[in-house]
Amino acid sequence: MVPTAIRDAALLLARLGLGVVFVAHGWQKIATNGIAGTAAFFEQVGAPLPTLSAWFAALVELVAGAALIIGLAVPVAGLLLALDMLGAYVFVHAGKGLFIDTGGAELVMALGAGSLALAAAGSGRFGLDHLLAPRLRPRQRDRERHREHAGRS
């Protein structure tokens, strides 16, 4: 079993890495490409309601990416980002192989899987979720004690 401090440090690094990538992609959709340009691309690939989809993707990536960075509402943010990547897979990358140089899905698969893992694992103790939800900490300690005890049996 991985010590709690190492687990929490790994979650922090994963949150920071994924969060920065998502914030950059969300910002790109808003500031670089613009929502109109993003919506035009979404329409070209057959995404439903392209303007609404462009706003959804941009805001989810920007806001949920920032939430990962600070460790706030990580299960919700991770789930929203995983769903966002599922949409990217279905409408843009499906059928184009694995590698990004051919339009493949490797990036969205990695980002989606990482987001889903964070949704399941939470922020760890180096995130705002840990500070804002102290009632969850005793239950976590009890689970860890139970696992340690079960490992000794």
pLDDT in tens, 116-139: 999 999 999 999 999 887 665 545
Are the CB atoms for 69 and 99 separated by under 8 Å? Answer: no
* Confidence (pLDDT) at 153: 55
Q: How many domains does the chain have?
A: 1
% of the chain residues with pLDDT over 90: 84
Q: Whose CA is closest to 58, among 86, 28, 95?
A: 28
pLDDT tens profile 81-107: 999 999 999 999 999 999 999 999 999
Distance CA 3, CA 87 (A): 36
* Confidence (pLDDT) at 93: 96
Ramachandran angles phi, psi of 95, nearest 5° = 80, 5
pLDDT tens profile 33-63: 999 999 999 999 999 999 999 999 999 999 9
Cα separation values, 8 from 66, 73, 107, Å: 18, 16, 24
Q: Which helix (H) or strand (E) holds 18?
A: helix 4-27
User: Which domain range does residue 135 map to?
Assistant: 4-152
* Confidence (pLDDT) at 133: 79
Are the CB atoms for 26 and 138 separated by under 8 Å? Answer: no
Compute the average pLDDT of residues 137-151. Answer: 59
